[in-house]
Amino acid sequence: MKPFIFVVLAILLFYFILCLYIAFVAVGKKKKRTRQSLEKVLSNPSLSSEHEHARRYIERIETLENAVSKTLIVESFDGLKLKAYYAPCGKSTDTFVLLVHGYDSDAYTAFGSQIKFYKDLGYDVIVIDQRACGNSEGKFVTFAVNESRDVADWCHYIASEFKNCKNIVLHGISLGGASVLLSLDKQLPSEVKCVIDDCGFDSPEGILQHVLKKDYHLPSFIRKTAIIFCEILCKCRFRGVNTEDVLKNTDLPVLFIHGALDTYVPYYMSEDNYKAAKNPFEFYTVADAHHANSFILDESGCFSAVKRLLERALQN
């Protein structure tokens, strides 16, 4: 009987170690992309398939480096120092745009044309490093649960530190999109006027279930246990958190943008968010775009949709 018990215990130990490893990979701090590391990719012929992405990241780094005038810092509710980068438009303005990047990304590599677009409109831009990303502190990415609280803190910071601020526009991509949507049930300042959600997911549990099944072919019981370990590591609950529930109760107009070919964050997640929203402004689809590629493949169409939202939301 004892050998059988040892076998069972060994299997259980392996199972829990596997699930814990999956959780660490999912929520662990993301490696920062630097200009140096990207240039090494470009100089390596064997990595030619990654050259296009590397060049794009370098262009984005240069865009933000040339635009930033100073670094901003807020302390999160759990004591982390979070950083953001202030890119003023160069003229007097009362409108600020908060750009929120996605998973496995950071402020310097997530946005390029968006920064120039908003500055050309005469808006000041603030691009944040989310917790456990870029230069911000933190050990774990919490799939928009705590990030949404951080977004709310940044909004209050902007409203209080910039006395000329009358309008705040929230613009998030992927994880950043979910973060700005979930922030809408926090006590945001009245200066927040509208939201752009670019391919954001509908729930932490939903996106983890989807990715772990599609990309890693893990059975349901392993996925569920791994998500519990994610919650333990992050010290917050993923299950039961849902953007649809938040969108049902916000009066702020929301623009949804999503590529129809997105399989990483499924297109249906934005469809469901749009249907659930109390005040949806528009759902703009880019037919041939994969994940986070809508602004790359259809820049003019996406920015036209954003302009339509701003014209409605910023009438004052």
Tens of pLDDT along 145-154? 999 999 999 9
pLDDT tens string 80-134? 999 999 999 999 999 999 999 999 999 999 999 999 999 999 999 999 999 999 9
Backbone angles phi, psi at 76, to 5 degrees: -75, 170
- The identity of residue 125, as a single letter, is V
Kindly tell me if the per-residue pLDDT of 62 is higher than 70: yes
pLDDT at 1: 56
**Straight-line distance from the first to the last Cα atom of the chain, in angstroms, rounded to the nearest whole number:** 77
3-state SS of 57-94 is HHHHHHHHHHHCCEEEEEECCCCCEEEEEEECCCCCCC
Q: Domain 70-203+241-313: what homologous superfamily?
A: Alpha/Beta hydrolase fold, catalytic domain (3.40.50.1820)
The residues that bridge with 28 in the sheet, in sequence order, are 140
Taking alpha carbons only, the member of 213, 203, 141 closest to residue 177 is: 203
- Rounded Cα–Cα distance for residues 153 and 101 (Å): 16
**pTM of this structure:** 0.96
Domain boundaries, the chain: 1-30+208-235, 70-203+241-313
